Amino acid sequence: MASAILKRVNASAMSSLVESMRIRASSRAFAAVVVGTDIVSAAPDVALQKARSWDEGVSSKFSTTPLKDIFKGKKVVIFGLPGAYTGVCSQQHVPSYKNKMDEFKAKGIDSVICVSVNDPYTLNGWAEKLEAKDAIQFYGDFDGSFHKSLELNKDLSVALLGPRSQRWSAYVVDGTVKALNIEEAPSDFKVTGAEVILDQI
């Protein structure tokens, strides 16, 4: 009986957590970035950090990658998520893109990028665990400056994650956003999967 009560309490706590995340997200289901935004101009002083091991970081002198090097002259699909090793991100979001790489290539996409508010070393370990590093380029936004510039940031302290990213996806051509999808809540996975963005290319 005690076990059954504990299960009900745990289920109730999880339900409350998800609902809290949903309520907080619904009050800000918008962003500064819209279709037509030039991402490089919107975040002119921002650079991302390509996923790598600590030793690779040291040997590169902790180099970063300017946004123009990521987007300019290229067709890019990019998706953002709350964080490495989290549930929906690991079980659904990244796999949806990993499993559709051939279709992205057939549509002329130069790169598929995953970005989150994590350091590049954590992202590297996560990408390797998901066996996705060869297919998807992973970039860290370690201080959240990229997501803040685009107003795609989200406070997920309710889940003990602190400042993070909303769950979103975009199709970007030569730095200009051609399609943009943002979930109402970080726990949702309805409009940001690979299947949706493929139909928008």
Predicted confidence at residue 156, as pLDDT, reads 73
Instruction: For residue 178, give every residue at least 6 positions away whose Cβ sits within 8 Å of its Cβ, in sequence order, or none.
Output: 35, 170, 171, 172, 200
Predicted confidence at residue 162, as pLDDT, reads 62
Predicted confidence at residue 31, as pLDDT, reads 59
What mean pLDDT do residues 106-130 have?
97
Q: Are strands 168-173 and 176-182 parallel, antiparallel or unpaired?
A: antiparallel
Alpha carbon distance 2, 18 (integer Å)? 24
Rg (CA), the chain: 17
Q: Which residue has the tokens 């002329």?
A: 108
Output 1 or 96, whichever has higher pLDDT: 96
Predicted confidence at residue 20, as pLDDT, reads 41
Q: What is the pLDDT of residues 90-100, one digit of tens each?
A: 989 999 999 99
Q: What is the pLDDT of residues 150-180, one digit of tens each?
A: 999 787 767 667 678 999 999 999 999 999 9
Q: What is the pLDDT of residues 5-45, one digit of tens each?
A: 334 434 444 444 444 444 333 333 445 889 999 999 999 88
Which domains, ranges and CATH numbers included, belong to the chain?
2-200 (3.40.30.10)
Q: Are strands 75-80 and 168-173 parallel, antiparallel or unpaired?
A: antiparallel
- Mean pLDDT of all residues in the chain? 85
- Given a contact cutoff of 8 angstroms between Cβ atoms, the answer to whether 165 and 147 are in contact is yes
Whether residue 2 has pLDDT greater than 60: no
Residue 114 falls in the annotated catalytic set: no
What mean pLDDT do residues 136-147 have?
95
What mean pLDDT do residues 184-195 have?
92
Predicted confidence at residue 119, as pLDDT, reads 95
What mean pLDDT do residues 107-121 have?
97
Question: Which among 89, 94, 156, 185 is annotated as catalytic?
Answer: 89
Q: Global pTM?
A: 0.81
